[in-house]
Chain A
């Protein structure tokens, strides 16, 4: 199969096209971001020399640090809520018989194919001061007057959980699918109780799924800037909002680039943890 370029013009053309696209639109832009993060802000050309680490230093400015920590906090809560809802959900889903499972998974990915802005907007209808939830709570006698639900930290978290829950459930579902009944049975036969089985067998075996889910939820939960824009008001910003404002409004590219590099490094760290957990499982299981 290994022939020279002359004998295989088609092969050469394919490779040139594919490499060209990825080098030009993936590698080059990413290098550019890394470069921009160590340069100086310039009003006309966006970035200029000299090289320095001011942008990274600026990340530790108390004002931004607070936004970052708050964003990280909201993302962490979002991930935790997704995990708490998604873990038992995926487990239950994997126990349903196969035919129904197909339908249930279809129902799970329908929202994923639906415009996320529109779904976020639908939450606004429910959470608004004179929205459906408040009206329902008042007519049930739970509340006397409408509560402020919209433009709160809680609203942003609800929005993020709503958009990202399927991304937690799907990887969890796939590890629960691989969890064989005989492993659980063996654990039981060896005298382990329900809790011991859960702690020593189920949790370690599903850990790669948990980490994959965390990865797929935690990072978007810091980047989806339209959720706080629609549900959160001006005080509940995500890292994504900061990056967007710095790039599009303040025109401070070095700072925006530095912020996104921090985001990317977080992702790399999570991916590393995911790899590690899989490898450990592979060794133990072999």
Chain B
């Protein structure tokens, strides 16, 4: 029985990882057709970095992900603090809206934001992408920070206030250090979500600011592009590093 369940787990993991392994192996494939092995080569990596539009899209995506993750971490942390510490009218509504963002299908969020931006006459580009990405990252940051705050000694902020600290000083010197690991984990999650997003970006981006997922999208719709294998491998390594970083931060903070 135990043997059976072990091999079942192994089989599913195998199926999950076969496509990823195929992708990595084929990124070093010299053959042009893309299906047969034609010897080892780095030519697709080379052609990737010689592709000016691609490199530009890469930088755009990195900058968007950096800023979106940072803004959503700031607002998300403040939201979590507000939900945790303050009693205010409409708290349930606020919670509800965050829940709606997280649970509603991405495509619904996408069209609702597109509608808003077009009606306001906002030019689609970096700003619209940033607003959209911050919005879909927000609930994830809030949840991560709230989880951290829920296991936290309530007497510490009380003590700080008794010692004469203002609300702002207390937040800065007591609460922020406590939630730091959650902030970093939330930031990394936001960064990855932003780098990976296709659905929302398809709607709210314009020709002035091309980002990586959309560039990949337009490449893979027609036929096979070996450069995508190389790019995918790089992205995989990149997200693996980010994920390990976030796991490390969270596990270290628990000790």
Contacts and interface: CB of A to CB of B under 8 A. Distances in A.
Contacts of B163: none
Interface string B218-255: 00110010001101100110011011000100000000
Contacts of B116: 25, 28-29, 32
Given A26-B101, A223-B199, A130 B236 contact: no
Given A1-B85, A115-B196, A115-B216, A11 B105 contact: no
A74 interface: no
A41 interface: no
A28 B122 CA distance: 15
Contact of A115 (B118, B168, B171, B232): B232
Given A14-B78, A111-B16, A116-B198, A271 B220 contact: no
B25 to A, nearest CB: 10
Contacts of A263: 105, 107-108
B216 to A, nearest CB: 5
Q: Which of B15, B131, B134, B198 has the most CB of A within 10 A?
A: B198
Contact of A114 (B86, B103, B198, B236): B236
B46 interface: no
A21 B137 CA distance: 13
Interface in A30-49: 30, 32-33, 36, 46
A97 B103 CA distance: 32
Contacts of A121: 23, 216, 220, 228, 232
A89 interface: yes
A96 B115 CA distance: 48
B217 A117 contact: yes
Interface string B42-60: 0000000000000000000
A110 B243 contact: yes
A29 B19 contact: no
Interface residues of B, number: 80
A260 to B, nearest CB: 5
A16 B120 CA distance: 21
B147 interface: no
B162 interface: no
A32 B97 contact: no
Interface stretch (A58-66, A174-182, A202-210, A242-250): A242-250
Contact of B75 (A21, A114, A124, A257): A21
Interface string B1-28: 0000110110011011111101100100
Interface string A114-129: 1111111111111010
Interface string B187-224: 00000100110110011000000000100110011001
Interface in A229-275: 229-230, 240, 243-244, 247-248, 253, 256-257, 260, 263-264, 267, 271
Interface residues of A, number: 82
At the interface, is chain A mostly helix, strand, loop or mixed? helix
A15 interface: yes
A8 B86 CA distance: 11
A243 B135 CA distance: 21
A274 to B, nearest CB: 10
B174 interface: no
Q: Which of B22, B107, B112 has the most CB of A within 10 A?
A: B107
A253 B13 CA distance: 42
Contact of B235 (A29, A118, A125): A118
A244 B131 CA distance: 20
B19 A162 contact: yes
7 contacts: A8-B167, A21-B75, A165-B12, A230-B221, A243-B107, A244-B202, A267-B103
Interface of B: 5-6, 8-9, 12-13, 15-20, 22-23, 26, 33-35, 75, 78-79, 81-82, 85-88, 90, 94, 97-98, 100-101, 103-109, 111-116, 118-119, 131, 134-135, 138, 166-168, 171, 192, 195-196, 198-199, 202-203, 213, 216-217, 220-221, 224, 228-229, 231-232, 235-236, 239-240, 242-243, 247
